[in-house]
Structure 1
């Protein structure tokens, strides 16, 4: 897959190295244009290629230089919005590419819908199967976990761990080999998105939609 995406140039890593630690205002000013051209623009191009491959990925955002926190200058983040509080995520930094899906910053009504869906035998078991499959595919599953078992549910509930979550995040590091400098990086993101799609669909259907 090509489109307008050619991968990240080698110079992108040099820019991120300059921005390590707590760069001075002068360093940030000097790196601004190079970061836009070498780091952010390839992410925009990649997400456009991904959206061309599947219209479900058209609603995306790529953070600009001035929209990030100090410690985020060394990484370029982007999201694809799938539903309220449900997003696919892409991150590029000195370690390469990371892809994921996240249901986060959820309001209380979504959290209640999530718990009801996890407790339900049919929808809860489907989520458990999806999570187990992603773990076998080397995705890291995490989230905001309550310290104690959830009230109203037995401590030995078969999906007790899932019930305690107030957010769900699945991530996998794709690496930083030579392919990252080529259009093949888009194919890797698309493949990872396909693996994440069952979890994303479950979250949209059972949690994000009212």
Structure 2
């Protein structure tokens, strides 16, 4: 496996262009750029992190358009995901806006979601999650995920952690944007440090998402 030397500028240019011309004609003319500037560096990056976090799934560049109104065939970013549980783990992507990292769970079955919400309600476990999120958002992470507009059925709308209870999925993300580090091997250390900082959040979900 080649060493990771950063994502070249050509990777950002590639996604700038595909946002403007998302066609098979463009893809066929630039697939070597995708391979050398995007796919191979992503493989090298995730391989460098695998010793600590595990092997990543690198997503295919093709969109599933079978049931989508948007029929453009190619994704406008390249993502990779290290699973630590059902739909739960660490994430990194590159696209036209630069590099972004994330952690969390992007979906949960009914029993798993109920288990998470029951833990959020309880003072010790819910308070622990609240402290983890507060620490992470204070250091630049953004809390995201799909949320209900109202309180979930069976939970008190006046609960002090009602905002967390409304989540159907829960993620924390951080953008590096166009920071020069994304073009260097030091990106490995930056992501490693951020994923380590986010591990308490991942472990909380792994511990309390049952079912």
TM value normalised by structure 2: 0.89
Structure 2 match to 1:122: 124
1:111 aligns with 2:113: yes
Structure 2 match to 1:11: 10
TM value normalised by structure 1: 0.89
Structure 2 match to 1:64: 60
CA distance change for structure 1 residues 145 and 71 in 2, over 3 Å: closer, same or farther?
farther
Structure 1 match to 2:205: 203
In the TM superposition, what is the alpha-carbon distance from 1:68 to its structure 2 partner?
Answer: 6.4
Q: Any idea what SS the aligned residue of 1:155 has? A: coil
Q: Any idea what SS the aligned residue of 1:134 has? A: helix
Which deviations, in whole Å up to 9, do the C-alpha atoms of 1:143-199 show, x marking residues without a partner? 221111233332221111111111101111023122211101111111110111110
Which deviations, in whole Å up to 9, do the C-alpha atoms of 1:107-153 show, x marking residues without a partner? 10101101111111111110111111111011110222111123333
In the TM superposition, what is the alpha-carbon distance from 1:72 to its structure 2 partner?
Answer: 5.1
Structure 2 match to 1:134: 136
**Structure 1 CA distance, aligned partners of 2:76 and 2:148?**
31
Gaps of 5+ in 1: none
The answer on whether the counterparts of 2:108 and 2:169 sit within 8 Å (CA) in structure 1 is yes
More helix by share: 1
Structure 1 match to 2:194: 192
CA distance change for structure 1 residues 194 and 72 in 2, over 3 Å: closer, same or farther?
farther
Gaps of 5+ in 2: 66-71
**Structure 2 CA distance, aligned partners of 1:13 and 1:85?**
28
The match for 2:101 among 75, 82, 99 is 99
Output the aligned Cα RMSD.
1.8
**Structure 1 CA distance, aligned partners of 2:152 and 2:18?**
43
Structure 1 match to 2:35: 36
CA distance change for structure 1 residues 24 and 155 in 2, over 3 Å: closer, same or farther?
closer
**Structure 2 CA distance, aligned partners of 1:72 and 1:141?**
27
Q: Any idea what SS the aligned residue of 1:20 has? A: helix
**Structure 2 CA distance, aligned partners of 1:117 and 1:95?**
36
> In the comparison of the two structures, how many residue pairs are matched?
204
1:176 aligns with 2:183: no
CA distance change for structure 1 residues 89 and 68 in 2, over 3 Å: closer, same or farther?
farther
In the TM superposition, what is the alpha-carbon distance from 1:71 to its structure 2 partner?
Answer: 7.1
The answer on whether the counterparts of 1:78 and 1:91 sit within 8 Å (CA) in structure 2 is yes
The answer on whether the counterparts of 2:94 and 2:100 sit within 8 Å (CA) in structure 1 is yes
